[in-house]
Chains A and B, each alone.
Chain A
Amino acid sequence: MNTIYHIMELLLPFDYIRYDFMKNAFLAVLIIAPLFGLLGTIIVNNRMAFFSDALGHSALTGMAAGILLGVADTGISMLIFGILFALLLNKIKHSGIVTSDTVISVFSSFSTAIGLVILSRGGNFSKYSALLVGDILSITPPELFRLLFIFIITLVFWGVAFNKLHAISLSVSLAKSKRMPVALIDNLFVVLVAVVVMLSIKWVGILIINALLILPAASARNLSANIREYHLFSILFSIFSGILGLVLSYYLDMAAGPMIVVIAALLFFTTLAVRPFVKQ
């Protein structure tokens, strides 16, 4: 870790980098940004923006459940609850009984409310309000390694299963005729999204996590003609807004997460405006 810190001090031209917490935050952005950029491509393709939003909100319930059950590390209860929630939503979506945005909305508000009810018991909610906006400056090296680990898993999953994931997102019937394990791949993907969301929600925050998942991919769509450009732009936009947002938040003394979202959103509008010139 010290070598990495040393290299960063040599490479980065900002004076704030002498603080260790800033170095950690910087490294966190370098992991979270490409990770979100990558996942966002399929989330946007599959029109799952609402789904990932609900998943973020379910973190509150996961934390509340952990506290009720007396779990020492609420991170674990959040993780387990997130995975179950994602699988349940997926199952209901595929049963086709109700339109999926309605189902998701119902589950999202229900789980948020349960979480808030339990966490606010005794007027203590302010203790947990950090979860809403996140605090990337408080991340520690062991947590960085956890994020790095899930990033590597995601890359492996992308390498092994991306084609199937993409094929299913284009047409389930066609994927079935090619004998792809549609349900398995679909479930693995939502579990992966759930794990990533739950591991990063403390640093990014419930209110803005979805923006970071969706915006880079949505901007990339405006400029790309194929899947490779889509991934490249999405990851680049994500890293760009992550780093610029972090640096600006330090100089302007504002919260880092929301600043990153503001930049990502501005990027989106820019790509929307230049789209007619890029794509004829």
Chain B
Amino acid sequence: MNKEKESIKRKYRILQPPCGLHCIKMNDIGVRVGKEIIIEHVNLHIHCGKLTVLIGRNGAGKSTLIKAVLGEVPHSGTIEFRDMRDRSMQDLKVGYVPQTLNIEKNTPTSVYDMFASYISNIPVCFWKSRKLAERIKDSLSLFEAQELLDKQVCDLSGGELQRVLLSIACDPVPNLLLLDEPVSGIDQNGMELFYRNINMLKKNYDLAMILVSHDLDYVSRYADNVILIDRTVLAQGSPEQVFASKEFKQIFG
């Protein structure tokens, strides 16, 4: 298994451990819908090779911040992506793993169809390219999902879908990976695997990650940096620091 992974990584030259020299800076991000302010004055500084976890109560604006970074909702403020070696500004490639897909039962879409639609222009409605299928299988195998290639997307379990979505987001490898932690349809083992995969990404790829999480137990075990949000950033730092803060106690009791 490990040998196979190594050969894949070599083949696509995607194994590039984090250099710690890329940073993403969000300056004064704000989002309002009509007159209502959803988030305001959010300043974040994120480095590659680190897992940053967003926590907060429901409706605190965690998902809105993610959507703002994705460009799905208009926002004020700026997002910069810099290479610290030469201080040059670069184009930020963002990968996204949604919480779930709103996909109807009985939808005739296989994992190959979905994956290929996002990464290639070879029309999936006319033929299945063997070469592309190989590449997709390789990408899936990094997250132990290669056997799902011909399964229907609507028949996948929560954990299986999550792994497929992870591999889509990481092909090609982005600079910033945004993840919405799955909340339903996923069991304890699935959750463990999800966090193991995130750890694997952190160690082996040159990317930064922001995770929206609801499970404080996993946060304390895996996060490098925790950000507590309620409309704006209330506290940030290591899990211990944030969990000890008075803002944290106010919100989570």
Contacts and interface: CB of A to CB of B under 8 A. Distances in A.
Contact of A163 (B94, B123, B127, B152): B123
Given A227-B124, A229-B108, A167 B96 contact: no
A166 B125 CA distance: 9
Interface stretch (A22-30, A108-116, A172-180, A248-256): A172-180
B39 interface: no
Given A177-B95, A221-B108, A226 B121 contact: no
A172 B102 CA distance: 10
A174 B96 contact: yes
A163 B117 contact: yes
Interface string B105-131: 011111011101111111111111000
B72 interface: yes
A163 B98 contact: no
Interface string B192-233: 000000000000000000000000000000000000000000
Given A227-B108, A227-B110, A178 B118 contact: yes
A227 B125 contact: yes
B169 interface: yes
Contact of A171 (B101, B120, B122): B101
A144 to B, nearest CB: 25
Contacts of A178: 118-119
Interface in B56-98: 67, 70-72, 94-96, 98
Given A222-B106, A226-B112, A226-B113, A173 B123 contact: no
Nearest to A166: B117
Interface stretch (A3-11, A51-59, A123-131, A154-162): A154-162
Interface of A: 41, 45, 158-160, 162-164, 166-167, 170-178, 220-222, 224-231
Interface of B: 67, 70-72, 94-96, 98, 101-103, 106-110, 112-114, 116-128, 150, 152-153, 165, 168-169, 178
List the 9 closest pairs (A to B, CB-CB), nearest first.
Answer: A177-B96, A224-B108, A230-B108, A226-B110, A167-B117, A163-B117, A227-B113, A166-B117, A162-B123
15 contacts: A45-B107, A158-B126, A160-B121, A162-B124, A162-B125, A163-B121, A166-B125, A170-B103, A171-B101, A173-B70, A173-B96, A221-B106, A225-B108, A227-B108, A227-B113
Given A177-B70, A225-B150, 7 more contacts: A163-B117, A173-B67, A174-B168, A222-B106, A224-B108, A227-B124, A228-B127
